[in-house]
Amino acid sequence: MTKPYQSAETKKKQVQTMFDGIADHYDLLNRMLSFGIDRGWRRRTVDRVLRLHPNEILDMATGTGDLAIQLAQRIPQAHVTGVDLSEGMLSIGREKAQKKGLSERIDFVSGDAESAAYGTERFDVATVAFGVRNFENIPAGIAGMFRALKPGGHLFVLEFGMPQNGLFGACYNFYFRQVLPRIGGWISKDKAAYTYLPDSVREFPYGERFVELLHVGGFRNGGFRNLSGGIAQIYWAEKPSEQKTVLGK
């Protein structure tokens, strides 16, 4: 299991420490290191959620709230609950939501995907943007989101992958493993955090393997779409509706 730091602490604790430490630089580095493409990826995720007209949305591993804010802005009837391990990231998310006049429609709550503290069978939709690979136990995290969704609810996951196209894949791999950690480490003063990023992406079971994990976790109708040549993927799946018993006469 890839962890941010070389210590005996659990991955969950290390991820919390890492994001607390880089929170002040996180948004700037996201824009710089993705060349702003991450905004379009989130927008396409929101496009899919928008079609379902949800009233209650769970945004797991919400970070500084970028996806939660987009969801609240574009789905005016929805209430969004953003959950994250890092209080440092949540604090920035609250400030951003307040500046945009969305504080009453977005709750930022400390927690993780394995916990049901944020609600059981409460949400119409659950989303995760670039957070699943940080789960200490991915199947347990999937199970937690499954519990949080209402029967018939939908899950959308936006996550990094590794491009398979020859020249493009080779160039991206060089940037991701050699350039990004140096820039990220220099600005954030935490080189380990931006060395962990490519390592965690390489370890993540992206593509069909992740869809299979969703099905094993009880979801159905799972699928995915590559974005930007495979740099990222949008995954989707549905929690089965309750089976209705038909009574005989």
- Between 34 and 54, where is the model more confident? 54
Distance between CA atoms of 111 and 116, rounded to whole angstroms? Answer: 9
β-sheet with 123-129: strand ranges across: 106-110, 79-84, 56-60, 123-129, 149-160, 232-238, 220-227
With contact defined as beta carbons under 8 Å apart, do 193 and 238 qualify?
no
Tell me, yes or no, whether 150 lies in a domain.
yes
Give domain status of residue 125, yes or no.
yes
Residue partners of 77: CB distance under 8 A and separation at least 6: 53, 55
Strands (E) across 114-215 are located at 123-129, 149-160
Is residue 243 domain-resident?
no
Least confident range of 70-74, 203-207, 219-223: 203-207
Mean predicted confidence (pLDDT) in 59-78: 97
Q: What is the pLDDT of residues 84-97, one digit of tens each?
A: 999 999 999 999 99
Distance CA 25, CA 22 (A): 6
| Parent domain of 140 | 11-162+205-238
pLDDT category of residue 10 using cuts at 50, 70 and 90? very high
pLDDT over threshold 50, residue 243: no
Q: Judge whether 98 lies within some domain.
A: yes
Q: Give the phi and the psi of residue 30 in degrees, each rounded to 5.
A: -60, -45
State the pLDDT at residue 4.
78
Q: Tell me, yes or no, whether 177 lies in a domain.
A: no
Domains of the chain: total: 1
Residue 195 domain-assigned (yes or no): no
Is there a domain that residue 93 lies in?
A: yes
